[in-house]
Structure 1
Amino acid sequence: MTDILDVARRQVLDEGRGLSASQVLDCLNLPDDRLKDLLALAHDVRMRWCGPEVEVEGIVSLKTGGCPEDCHFCSQSGTFQSPVRSVWLNIPELVEAAKETAKTGATEFCIVAAVRGPDERLMKQVREGVAAINAAVDINIACSLGMLTQEQVDELAAMGVHRYNHNLETARSHFPNVVTTHSWEERWDTLRMVKDAGMEVCCGGIIGMGETREQRAEFAGQLAELEPDEVPLNFLTPRPGTPFADRPLVEGAEALKTIGAFRLALPRTILRYAGGRELTLGDFGTREGMLGGINAVIVGNYLTTLGRPAEQDLELLTELEMPIKALSKTL
Structure 2
Amino acid sequence: MTDILTIARARVLDEGRGLDREQALECLRLPGERLGELLALAHEVRMKWCGPEVEVEGIVSVKTGGCPEDCHFCSQSGRFSSPVRAVWLDLDELVRAAEETAATGATEFCIVAAVRGPDRRLMDQVRQGVEAIHRAVDINVACSLGMLTQEQVDELAAMGVHRYNHNLETARSHFGEVVTTHTWQERWDTCLMVRAAGMELCCGGIVGMGETLEQRAEFAVQLGELEPDEVPLNFLNPRPGTPFAGHPVVEGADALRTIATFRLALPRTILRYAGGREITLGDLGTREGMLGGINAIIVGNYLTTLGRPPARDLELLDELRMPIKALSRTL
- The residue that corresponds to 2:235 in the other structure is 235
- The residue that corresponds to 1:271 in the other structure is 271
2:22, 2:271 → 1: CA distance?
A: 20
Q: Secondary structure at the match of 1:110?
A: strand
Given the alignment of the two structures, is residue 160 of structure 1 paired with residue 160 of structure 2, yes or no? yes
Normalising by structure 2, what TM-score?
A: 1.00
- The residue that corresponds to 1:62 in the other structure is 62
1:277, 1:20 → 2: CA distance?
A: 26
1:314, 1:119 → 2: CA distance?
A: 37
- The residue that corresponds to 1:21 in the other structure is 21
- Deviation string 1:70-113 (CA, Å, 9 cap, x unpaired) is 00000000000010010000111100000000000000000000
Given the alignment of the two structures, is residue 321 of structure 1 paired with residue 321 of structure 2, yes or no? yes
- Deviation string 1:125-168 (CA, Å, 9 cap, x unpaired) is 00000000000000000000000000000000000001000000
Given the alignment of the two structures, is residue 145 of structure 1 paired with residue 157 of structure 2, yes or no? no
- Deviation string 1:14-72 (CA, Å, 9 cap, x unpaired) is 01011011110010010010000000000000000000000000000000000000000
In structure 1, the gaps of 5 or more residues are none
RMSD over aligned Cα atoms: 0.5
Q: How does 1:289-308 map to 2 (within 5 A)?
A: 289-308=289-308
Q: Secondary structure at the match of 2:223?
A: helix
2:156, 2:297 → 1: CA distance?
A: 24
2:205, 2:104 → 1: CA distance?
A: 25
Q: Secondary structure at the match of 2:173?
A: coil
- The residue that corresponds to 2:11 in the other structure is 11
Q: How does 1:20-169 map to 2 (within 5 A)?
A: 20-169=20-169
Q: Secondary structure at the match of 2:48?
A: helix
In structure 2, the gaps of 5 or more residues are none
2:84, 2:151 → 1: CA distance?
A: 31
Q: Secondary structure at the match of 2:272?
A: strand
2:201, 2:329 → 1: CA distance?
A: 16
- The residue that corresponds to 1:208 in the other structure is 208
- Deviation string 1:262-283 (CA, Å, 9 cap, x unpaired) is 0000000000000000000000
Q: Percent identity?
A: 81
Which aligned runs of 4 or more in structure 1 are off by greater than 2 angstroms?
none
Q: How many residues were matched structurally?
A: 331
- Deviation string 1:209-235 (CA, Å, 9 cap, x unpaired) is 000000000000100000000000000
Given the alignment of the two structures, is residue 219 of structure 1 paired with residue 213 of structure 2, yes or no? no
1:164, 1:316 → 2: CA distance?
A: 27
**Pairwise CA distance, 1:330:** 4.1
1:33, 1:82 → 2: CA distance?
A: 40
Q: Which amino acid aligns with 1:289?
A: G
